[in-house]
Chains A and B, each alone.
Chain A
Amino acid sequence: MTKQHTILYLDGVSVAFDGFKAISNLSLTLGRNEMRAIIGPNGAGKTTMMDIITGKTRPDIGDVYFDGVHDLTRLDEADIANLGVGRKFQKPTVFEMHTVEDNIALSLKSPRGVFAALFDLRSAEAQGRIDDILEMVRLSARRGEKAANLSHGQKQWLEIGMLLAQDPKLLLVDEPVAGMTDAETEETGRLLKKIAQTHSVIVVEHDMHFVRELDVKVTCLHEGSVLSEGSLDFVSSDERVIEVYLGR
């Protein structure tokens, strides 16, 4: 796949913290409207990879391109977010003191200037978008409540809803079903698949049942680089992957 046809293109990326190589020579590409699951043991570099894509961490070396043209190593978090990269954290992070509706409203794609925000009056169109998203993440009924009062699973959904409100092209979703009930997990899987119809998605997940349910290409990371890539069956039968997970 050439760079122009990818939504995300990482080539030869390395980063070290005080000598510890968190990512080493990582190369990975993601097509438009593709959903990819990333697995790997703790310390494989999954979160650091997300940090690099979203501009939180600068790679020491290597190329990171978004949508074939945008060099992400030169941009900061806000720029990258506004280009259309949404990120859900491992630990659900929402604006706890605001209502569910305000959480979505603050994330909604809009001019990001200070004075635009100061004089912003919510348009009917924006309200329509908010309603749609709340419907999609099944939080319409709790729209007036403070986000702090939501359950863990509902916060995960709210965060996904906030990502959608940004109208991103690429969503990075870190452990979306951690701490969810089975029913919630199933619901989340359905939601992500629906999102993937119109967006590119990277899902980092430990739950293999969930990954199987997603039924997408899987990339296994280990010690900061790609260990194996392919269907879940292929990856899970890869000798090296088994070794890493089971420590044989």
Chain B
Amino acid sequence: MIAARLLKNGIDRRIAATIALLVGAAVLVPVLHLAVPESSPFHIPAHAVVLFGKYLCYALLALALDLVWGYCGILSLGHGAFFALGGYAMGMYLMRQIGDRGVYANPVLPDFMVFLNWKELPWFWHGFDQFWFAAAAIVLVPGALAFGFGWLAFRSRVTGVYLSIITQALTYALLLAFFRNDMGFGGNNGLTDFKDILGFPVQAPATRAALFAATALALAAFIAVTAMVVGSKLGKLMVAVRDAESRTRFVGWRPEHIKLFAFTLSAVMAGIAGALYVPQVGIINPSEFAPANSIEVVIWVAIGGRGTILGPILGAMLVNWTKSWFTAALPDFWLFALGALFVAVTLFLPKGVIGMWDQWRAARRSRVDGVVPAIGTQPRQSLGTEAAE
């Protein structure tokens, strides 16, 4: 179905190339990590596999945010919440896999529950010993939250900065909730000390490589899905809602339904990104819900270029690579750099790197052979500003 659509609409060459690159990496990186001896210059060390795996998760999260912000004009400042919920669902599965190998050797209860003197497993932990159950939760929990929240918010036409603020409040509320020990998610410390995933040791090189491959393939698949969605009539309607919500309404569409679809799909993507992230970094704790995290995702999308498919991916990689460099070399300056990035991107690079590049190329082409520039579906001025003012 997806393939048929992509063929029908004609897929952007760059998107196709990116998908091919990711599929290639899913094959090549495990090979270079496992099969090539460490002495070889082609060997990819463990930390690099984990680091890039992490970046790919971030890229998927950024893509998810771009779907709602870049295409649909909903600036969500709470997407970290969906990421973290997916992560927690995966974390719960991994906790249950520990079994009696925990510090307290309780065959059923995770260590933190034994520590809190709990006698039995809370109801919402049941089923998480099964991978299929956890997998369903990874999709359904963020999806259901986004659906419920979006249904309430979009139906009552909460838009613009109001919506941004309440999405931030959403993740803040979850942050507070997950910090509580009696919520049953490990409180402050979160979930960690994982042992196995699907019967394979999490720390083993082969598992690591497999997780990387899975992440790369998931990202490739969701790039295809996103390309299909934004290429469809529905995708054009999203842009229509972003640029002229009331016009869309007056020709008979329901912007709230369109937004709800985008928001829910996006939350599911974020949840899956979180689920892939947790086994690779080995921990999930409430700080993932911090509002600052969610806003940081926005800057990845902004710098790469919102309203494009490759922009958020490029942006997530670029910003996180820079962050890794800064935190190693100049830790005190990272916040200065990040802050300056927020200011600089909004002031000087409103279309992001990809947008700038396209504009520059289009301008050059039009100079060469007089073709009128036509650039992506990027908004000319601003996004989702209709409500404010």
Distance A95 CA – B232 CA, assembled complex (angstroms): 16
Distance A54 CA – B249 CA, assembled complex (angstroms): 10
Chain A 83-108 residues near chain B, CB threshold 8 A: 86-87, 89, 93-98, 102, 105-107
Distance A162 CA – B234 CA, assembled complex (angstroms): 17
Does A146 interact with chain B (Cβ within 8 Å)?
A: yes
Does B206 interact with chain A (Cβ within 8 Å)?
A: no
Given contacts A118-B232, A148-B380, contact A93 B251 (CB under 8 A): no
Selecting from A24-32, A74-82, A224-232, the interface stretch reads A74-82
Does B261 interact with chain A (Cβ within 8 Å)?
A: yes
Does A183 interact with chain B (Cβ within 8 Å)?
A: no
Distance A24 CA – B343 CA, assembled complex (angstroms): 50
A199 CB, min distance to chain B CBs, angstroms: 16
Partner of B254, one of A78, A162, A163: A78
Distance A130 CA – B326 CA, assembled complex (angstroms): 55
Chain B 353-378 residues near chain A, CB threshold 8 A: 372, 374, 377-378
Distance A120 CA – B8 CA, assembled complex (angstroms): 12
| Interface majority SS (helix, strand, loop, mixed), chain B | helix
Number of interface residues, chain A, beta carbon within 8 A: 37
Partner of B244, one of A54, A93, A120, A146: A93
Does A112 interact with chain B (Cβ within 8 Å)?
A: yes
Of B234, B253, B377, the most chain A CB neighbours within 10 A belong to: B253
Residues A87 and B244 in contact, CB atoms below 8 Å apart: no
Distance A93 CA – B248 CA, assembled complex (angstroms): 10
Given contacts A95-B244, A95-B247, A118-B229, contact A112 B236 (CB under 8 A): no
Which residues on the B side are within 8 Å of A97 (C-beta)?
Answer: 239, 243, 377-380
Given contacts A82-B252, A97-B378, A112-B254, contact A106 B246 (CB under 8 A): no
Partner of B247, one of A94, A105, A118, A121: A94
Residues B258 and A114 in contact, CB atoms below 8 Å apart: yes
B positions within 8 Å CB-CB of A: 8, 229, 232-234, 236-237, 239-240, 243-244, 246-254, 257-258, 260-261, 372, 374, 377-380
A positions within 8 Å CB-CB of B: 54, 56, 77-78, 81-82, 86-87, 89, 93-98, 102, 105-107, 109, 112-114, 117-122, 145-146, 148-149, 162-163, 165-166
Instruction: Give 3 nearest A-B pairs by CB, closest first.
Output: A81-B252, A117-B234, A120-B233
- Sample 29 A-B pairs with CB under 8 A, ordered by A number: A56-B246, A77-B250, A78-B249, A87-B250, A89-B247, A89-B250, A93-B246, A93-B247, A95-B236, A95-B240, A95-B243, A95-B248, A96-B380, A97-B239, A97-B243, A97-B377, A102-B236, A105-B236, A106-B253, A109-B252, A112-B253, A114-B258, A117-B253, A118-B229, A118-B233, A121-B8, A145-B372, A146-B374, A149-B372
Beyond A77-B250, A86-B251, A93-B246: 13 further Cβ-contacts under 8 Å?
A: A81-B251, A86-B250, A87-B250, A89-B247, A95-B236, A98-B377, A105-B233, A106-B240, A114-B260, A117-B232, A117-B253, A149-B372, A166-B251
